[in-house]
């Protein structure tokens, strides 16, 4: 896995607790994940960001690196250690949040496709998984997307949104990313008990 700086996956580095892995994908709502990262970090909680290639077209990895105070994982193929990074990270992660989640990553997660750092990480992750979709309302309503969401929900993946409202590509309907406040509240509720451990 390639990072923007030295390795956050270095086994000599003291682990943070609890560590949220945030997967950012190529939705126009990706910039809202930067706000989430800032708030999460300000709450004193650990976060490791993984960005897809499409997400990096929309928001710069350096933004997440600075806000999370960790190098961002942007590629699968540079391994900092003897152990593949996604395996080592999975051992430390308390939860995975994919925010925003594209139709594409939802499909890949539902069907076990592991062709980049985030989708490969998902298959290595044994803890709770949260998905906050964001897409055009017609994409969200598509039977393929709905079927993929059902597959994931049946496996225990928890969905946050999407909500109704105006979307960036024009129009109005269900497909908008849930408010950052709501996502933040769900995630802190889900992980808070672990902070007391
Ligand atoms: C400007 C722009 C905005 C996009 N926004 C979305 C979006 O909100 N939701 C979505 O599912 N796809 C969106 N896409 C399409 C995805 O980026 C595309 O399906 C990509 O392959 C997703 O890759 P990823 O899931 O690996 O990030 C957008 C594409 C562009 C060019």
**Tokens encoding 49:** 């960001």
**Tokens encoding 53:** 């290639």
Find the catalytic residue in 60, 65, 149, 169. Answer: 169
Cα-to-centroid distance, 27 and ligand 1 (Å): 4
List CB contacts of 132: < 8 A, sequence separation 6 or more: 97, 98, 99, 100, 101, 159, 160, 161, 162, 177, 178, 183
pLDDT reading at 135 higher than 90: yes
Q: What span, in angstroms and rounded, lies between the C-alpha atoms of 144 and 166? A: 23
Domains of the chain: 2-8+16-192 (3.40.50.1950)
The residue nearest atom 5 of ligand 1, judged by CA position, is 27
**Tokens encoding 42:** 């300000």
Backbone angles phi, psi at 75, to 5 degrees: -155, 150
Q: Which of 4-8, 95-99, 123-127, 168-172 has the lowest mean pLDDT?
A: 4-8
pLDDT one-digit tens code per residue, 23-51: 999 999 999 999 999 999 999 899 999 99
pLDDT one-digit tens code per residue, 48-77: 999 999 999 999 999 999 999 989 999 888
Active site residue 169: yes
């Amino acid at each position: 896995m390639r990072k923007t700086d030295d390795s956050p996956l270095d086994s000599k580095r003291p682990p943070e607790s609890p560590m949220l892995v945030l997967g950012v994908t190529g939705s126009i709502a990706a910039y809202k994940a930067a706000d989430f990262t800032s708030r999460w970090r300000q709450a004193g909680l650990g976060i490791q960001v993984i960005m897809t290639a499409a997400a990096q077209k929309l928001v710069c990895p350096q933004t997440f690196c600075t806000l999370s105070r960790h190098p961002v994982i942007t590629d699968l193929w540079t391994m900092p250690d003897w152990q593949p990074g996604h395996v080592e990270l999975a051992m430390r992660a308390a939860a995975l949040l994919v925010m925003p989640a594209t139709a594409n990553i939802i499909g890949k997660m539902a069907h076990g496709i592991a062709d980049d750092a985030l989708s490969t990480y998902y298959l290595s992750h044994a803890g709770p998984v949260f998905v906050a979709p964001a897409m055009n309302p017609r994409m969200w309503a598509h039977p393929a997307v709905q079927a993929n969401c059902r597959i994931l929900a049946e496996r225990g993946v928890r969905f946050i949104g999407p909500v109704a409202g105006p979307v960036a590509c024009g129009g109005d309907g269900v497909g908008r990313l849930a408010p950052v406040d709501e996502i933040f509240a769900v995630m802190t509720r889900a992980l808070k008990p672990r902070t007391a451990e």
